[in-house]
């Protein structure tokens, strides 16, 4: 539940349609308390639940969470195993909440690389929740922006080779529709926790005009108030899309 005073500050007419989050800082959070990194990932689940609930309660249409990058496969095997186990357990545990709150689960990324039990749980939950239409929750798993762009270019190359498409007809919409994210609007707001100010190969194509909010809060501590503060920051921005401020104020 969002505190009513905080909620009242957010303009419901100017909410981002799509929020994407780079959930970072679990390892440092654990270390600060003298624990192993995995302890941070476990506590990160609470923040995941809170972000999903907050987004759904406010009426945000799409929430994308960067849960595991292509580059994260280079982490120690024990940490990877723990993250995969946590993923399966969390999805299984949260499915009733998804059903109750009208949340549709989708994934982006090279999910065929995930352990088979993860793939199975994900497929089942995607299928079970496909009719839900209050909010779409997109988990980026074994995902990287460059991977998706390369895959898209391959698909387009095949169409050209088969004579279905001529190179001159390749435009933004052709590339868009070849991406894993083709069914979703581009993120209006990108949040990164933990104080790092980088993109780490997240939605490279899609964030061309996203507003970016960096916060020093480590992911396990990222709560409702932090999410609302990111939304207030978003609402204080003037999105110009190349135009002048005057054009935006008097269209
Ligand atoms: C984010 O926290 C979770 C994943 C990348 C899976 P980190 O594990 O990157 O935590 P830090 O950045 O080392 O603190
Ligand atoms: C980005 O965090 C990936 C996810 C949050 C899943 P990382 O912790 O892997 O990013 P870098 O390595 O610090 O750039
Ligand atoms: Mg990190």
Residues near ion ligand 3 (CB < 5 Å) are 24
Ligand 1 centroid distance, CA of 22 (Å)? 9
User: Two tokens at 46?
Assistant: 């609470």
Please check the confidence at residue 1 and state whether its pLDDT lies above 90. Answer: no
pLDDT at 127: 98
d(C-alpha 215, C-alpha 246), whole Å:
30
Beta bridge partners of 104: 136
State in Å: Cα 24 to ligand 2 middle: 6
Token pair belonging to 108: 């982006």
Q: Is 233 part of the annotated catalytic residue set?
A: no
Nearest-CA residue for atom 2 of ligand 2: 24
State the Cα–Cα distance between residues 18 and 206, nearest whole angstrom. Answer: 11
Predicted confidence (pLDDT) per residue in 129-155, tens digit: 999 999 999 999 999 999 999 999 999
Instruction: For ligand 1, pick from 21, 25, 36 the residue to mutate: most ligand atoms within 8 Å of CB.
Output: 25
Dist. CA 85–CA 163, nearest whole Å: 44
In sequence order, what are the beta bridge partners of 214?
192
Q: Which has more confidence, 1 or 244?
A: 244
Rounded-to-integer distance, Cα 226 and Cα 46, Å: 14
Which residue's CA lies nearest to atom 10 of ligand 2?
Answer: 200
Which is the closest atom of ligand 2 to the Cα of 24?
A: 5
What pLDDT was estimated at residue 170? 98
Question: For all residues of the chain together, what is the average pLDDT?
Answer: 97
Q: Which two tokens stand for residue 117?
A: 């039990």
Q: What are phi and psi of 95, to 5 degrees?
A: -55, -45
CATH number of 14-144+186-235: 3.40.50.2300, 3.40.1180.10, 1.10.287.3510, 3.40.640.10? Answer: 3.40.1180.10
Whether 171 is catalytic is: no
Residue 251 pLDDT more than 80? no
What are the tens digits of pLDDT across the range 152-209? 999 999 999 999 999 999 999 999 999 999 999 999 999 999 999 999 999 999 999 9
Residue 250, pLDDT score: 82
Predicted confidence at residue 205, as pLDDT, reads 98
What does the DSSP 8-state code read for residue 20?
Answer: E
User: pLDDT tens digits for 112-122?
Assistant: 999 999 999 99
Looking at residue 182, what DSSP letter applies?
A: T
């Amino acid at each position: 539940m969002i505190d009513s005073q905080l909620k009242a500050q957010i303009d419901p007419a100017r909410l981002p349609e799509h929020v994407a989050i780079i959930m970072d800082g679990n390892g440092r959070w654990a270390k600060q308390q003298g624990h192993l990194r995995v302890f941070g990932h476990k506590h990160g689940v609470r923040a995941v639940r809170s972000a999903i609930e907050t987004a759904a309660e406010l009426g945000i249409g799409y929430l994308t969470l960067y849960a595991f990058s292509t580059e994260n496969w280079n982490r120690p095997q024990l940490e990877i195993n723990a993250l995969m186990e946590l993923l399966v357990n969390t999805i299984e545990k949260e499915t009733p909440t998804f059903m109750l709150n009208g949340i549709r689960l989708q994934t982006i990324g090279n999910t065929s690389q995930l352990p088979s039990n993860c793939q199975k749980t994900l497929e089942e939950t995607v299928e079970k929740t496909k009719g839900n239409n209050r909010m779409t929750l997109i988990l980026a798993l074994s995902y990287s922006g460059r991977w998706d762009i390369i895959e898209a270019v391959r698909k387009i190359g095949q169409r050209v080779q088969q004579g279905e498409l001529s190179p001159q007809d390749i435009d933004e919409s052709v590339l868009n529709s070849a991406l894993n994210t083709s069914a979703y609007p581009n993120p209006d707001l990108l949040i990164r926790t933990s104080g790092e100010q980088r993109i780490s190969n997240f939605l490279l194509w899609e964030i061309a005009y996203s507003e970016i909010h960096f916060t020093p809060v480590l992911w396990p501590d990222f709560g409702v108030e932090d999410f609302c503060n990111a939304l207030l920051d978003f609402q204080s921005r003037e999105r110009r899309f190349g135009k002048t401020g005057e054009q935006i104020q008097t269209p």
